[in-house]
Homo-oligomer: A and B are copies of this chain.
Amino acid sequence: MTPAKYDVLAIGNALFDVLVRTKDDFLVRHGMAKGSMALIDQAQAAAIYADMGTATEISGGSAANTIVGLASFGARTAYVGKIKDDQIGKLYAHDIRAAGVAFDTKPASEGPATGCSYILVTPDGERTMNTYLGAAQDLVPADIDEAQIAAASIVYLEGYLWDPPQAKEAFLKASKIAHGAGRKVALTLSDSFCVDRYRAEFLDLMRSKTVDLIFANESELHALYQTSDFDTALKALGQDVALGVVTRSEKGCAVVEGDSITLVPAASIEQLVDTTGAGDLFAAGFLFGLVRNAGYENAGRLAALAAAEVIQHIGARPQVSLKELAQQHGLPV
């Protein structure tokens, strides 16, 4: 096996976040399920945006947030995602490259605009996302560069990729290349509604060993196994995938490997502002711990620290150096 050029390569829907603080009645009026991600078309996007207040724009996208978090820890990173070569696409490409991430996916010159996620942040800090995939729906297998995938120790994929028609083929192609090169493949389940849409396929990805590591939050895990009993679901996960990591918000996380379970507490915060990116940055910290062979306990602590940073401000990208933050907390970087 040749030495890896990248610690982690992530593939996901490239989305520009349009964030607005709002009250709960906005969600009720628009029939939005609080805390979830709903796919919307261009007309719905226009209608929701027209009714939204003054916004803040920050590059986002689940796997992209994770990879930027990894870069902030000091990992060597690359990202694959589809934007258009429009104004928003240029902002997007700038931000991910400015974070130190290699980003070479050819932008679309025709077709829909760069995708946007319209995110409502309620006073309790919870985020509710409405995603117009735009150019992200045109990620195709040809966007997967074999040499680049083979050069990454871990390929990280988001469950949201199951939504755009050809992205799942790109996902499977990447997984095959990675395993052929002796690399590992990680998947986040992304969202409980996403799990509802693709439950059988996600379980098959795990049981067929197409993925080696699963990230899920509690509600996604419950959705996956259609049970309200956490311990039952966690045990099932341990049997279905080589390594499972389940986040439980302020209750910390559980790492399951076969019959073995490691529990790690959450990091303390001063003020919850916006949960956007919490799971993404958790995954960044955990993957960074794996890359550094820091052990599950330390990986969980790095994960909790990164998640705690991102939920204390608006937007899903870290605002400080996660490497310095980890050092301040005496964690291995």
Contact = CB atoms under 8 A, between A and B. Distances in A.
A309 to B, nearest CB: 14
Contact of A55 (B88, B91, B113): B91
Chain A interface size range: 20 to 34
A58 interface: yes
Nearest to A90: B49
A102 interface: no
A54 B91 contact: no
A143 interface: no
Interface string A45-86: 000011011111111000000001000000000000000001
A319 B313 CA distance: 13
B87 A54 contact: no
A145 interface: no
A29 B55 CA distance: 32
A49 B113 contact: no
A50 B99 CA distance: 12
Nearest to A87: B87
A60 to B, nearest CB: 11
A297 interface: no
Interface of A: 18, 21, 49-50, 52-59, 68, 86-88, 91, 94-95, 98-99, 113, 315, 317, 319
A88 B87 CA distance: 7
B56 A68 contact: no
A59 B56 CA distance: 8
Given A56-B57, A57-B91, 4 more contacts: A52-B98, A54-B68, A57-B57, A87-B87
Given A94-B49, A319-B21, A54 B88 contact: no
A59 B91 CA distance: 14
A55 B319 contact: no
Q: Max chain B CB contacts within 10 Å: which of A53, A57, A113, A315?
A: A57
A317 B57 CA distance: 13
Contacts of A53: 98-99
A332 to B, nearest CB: 25
Contacts of A95: 54-55
Contact of A99 (B54, B91, B319): B54
Contacts of A50: 94
A59 B57 CA distance: 9
